[in-house]
């Protein structure tokens, strides 16, 4: 049977995984792998949100990127049957208006800083957020900690600064890397890290749901 290999790990808590409702915001190099992991682990009610289309430059790291020119949410909804999707651009204004109440967990896998800050204010009680995944090559450097306790991650440092500037004083978990970025002024991403960060988000989500 499909879930015979995962049920022994979670035992009676597997029913919690199947009953949960998860929202993934951003399904690029990190969010796409998080989606794949949650879907294969038995989560039945997943909604993804993104606005971008797949481009050739995505093909080194993003699930579904063979569908060049197609909307990411549309392509992924064809791969992962029965998931829901919202094709929209994430902005602070959108975050302000959107109703997050029906979701058990919110997974933030976007790079836009103003939107990440807005999400933190509105959903911190059930938020898991990704920090810097690009410009790195060592997935063993990925860690989980409070947003206030990350180390050696310039993106997370900027995130904290913007949170403090906005008056945010709460807490939530983030997935980040302690590896020093390789290319400071150039774009560079390796699927071994971006994918591993997505899988770590998934693992953290499942453990939160089952109180591991």
pLDDT at residue 187 tops 90: no
The pLDDT value recorded for residue 184 is: 75
pLDDT band for position 91 (cuts 50, 70, 90)? very high
Strands 105-108 and 127-130 turn out to be: parallel
* Measured distance CA(99)–CA(95) in Å, rounded: 8
The pLDDT value recorded for residue 212 is: 62
* Measured distance CA(195)–CA(129) in Å, rounded: 15
**Architecture of the CATH domain 7-210:** 3-Layer(aba) Sandwich (3.40)
How many C-alpha atoms does 120 have within 13 Å on its Cβ side?
29
The pLDDT value recorded for residue 115 is: 98
pLDDT band for position 185 (cuts 50, 70, 90)? confident
Q: Is 26 left (phi over 0), alpha (psi -120 to 50) or beta?
A: left
For residue 146, the cross-strand partners are 173
Name the average pLDDT for the chain. Answer: 96
Specify whether the CB–CB gap between 50 and 31 falls below 8 A.
Answer: yes
């Amino acid at each position: 049977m499909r879930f015979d290999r995962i049920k022994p790990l979670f035992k009676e808590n597997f029913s919690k995984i199947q009953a949960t409702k998860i929202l993934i915001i951003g399904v690029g190099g990190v969010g796409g792998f998080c989606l794949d992991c949650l879907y294969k682990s038995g989560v039945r009610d997943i909604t993804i949100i993104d606005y971008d289309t797949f481009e050739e430059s995505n093909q080194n790291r993003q699930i579904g990127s063979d569908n060049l020119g197609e909307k990411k949410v549309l392509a992924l909804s064809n791969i992962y049957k029965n998931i829901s999707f919202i094709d929209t651009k994430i902005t602070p204004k959108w975050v302000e208006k959107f109703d997050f109440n029906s979701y058990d967990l919110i997974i933030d896998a976007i790079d836009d800083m103003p939107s990440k800050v807005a999400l933190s204010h509105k959903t911190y009680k059930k938020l898991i957020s990704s920090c810097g995944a690009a410009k790195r090559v060592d997935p063993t450097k990925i860690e989980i900690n409070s947003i206030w306790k990350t180390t050696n991650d310039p993106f997370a440092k900027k995130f904290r600064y913007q949170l403090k500037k906005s008056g945010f004083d709460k807490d939530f978990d983030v997935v980040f890397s302690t590896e020093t970025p390789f290319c400071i002024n150039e774009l560079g991403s390796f699927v071994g890290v971006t994918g591993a960060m997505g899988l770590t988000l998934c693992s953290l989500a499942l453990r939160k749901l089952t109180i591991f």
